[in-house]
Structures are given as structure tokens and as C-alpha cells.
Amino acid sequence: MCRTVRNNNINSLRNRGRLMPVKIFLSASLRKYVPHYDPLTGVERTIKGPIPVSDLCRDLGIPFDTVKIAMVNGRRVTMDYRVEEDGRVAFFPPVGGG
């Protein structure tokens, strides 16, 4: 069973306004939205204070409807979850097949 984390307000208050590095990793078809994406190193961004995962998605030019799962530091999160310093964010598209 997968538990989805919704928010992290306490840490968000502590880090508000600070410049913080985050790493973003993209899976499968989402890689086409970031030119020269390297799946081994991902993309590094510096954010000011905690920001929602959805802002990172938008800043990379990835349409929201192409993201099925977002994870931060190995835990599934909602798109309004606020990313903290040294966060590792991963986006996954819907998977089809059969």
C-alpha cells in the first residue's frame, strides 16, 4: 500500500525565503520536455524557499496532465507538496501496455 504525503508545513515555515538546491529526475516520455536531459544526473534547480512540486513541473515546461506520479525523497506526494532543501523530486508519466 502506498501512502501519499500531502504537506509539510513545519519545515516550510522554517525554510521560507532561503535559496535551496533540489534535484529533479524524469522518467520515460517526460524527458522530452527538458533539452539535454541526462537520466544519470537529472536536473538541478535552485529554489527560493519551499515551493510546490507543481511549480517545478511548470518551470520545466512539463504539462500537468502528463504526470501521473510525483515523488519527493522516495515518497509519493501530491502536486501541492512543498519541496525542501536537498529534495530529490521524480516525475513519472502514466504507464500503458499489456
- DSSP assignment of 40-69 equals TT-EEEEEES-EEHHHHHHHTT--GGG--E
Q: What is the CATH number of domain 9-92?
A: 3.10.20.30
pLDDT digits (tens, 9 = 90+) for 56-88: 999 999 998 999 999 999 999 999 999 988 899
Global pTM value: 0.79
Instruction: Name 47's bridge partners.
Output: 20
Residue 4 has pLDDT above 70, yes or no: no
Domain map (residue ranges) of the chain: 9-92
Strands 69-72, 87-92: pairing kind: antiparallel
Percent of the chain with pLDDT over 70: 80
Sign of CA dihedral 18, 23, 28, 31: positive
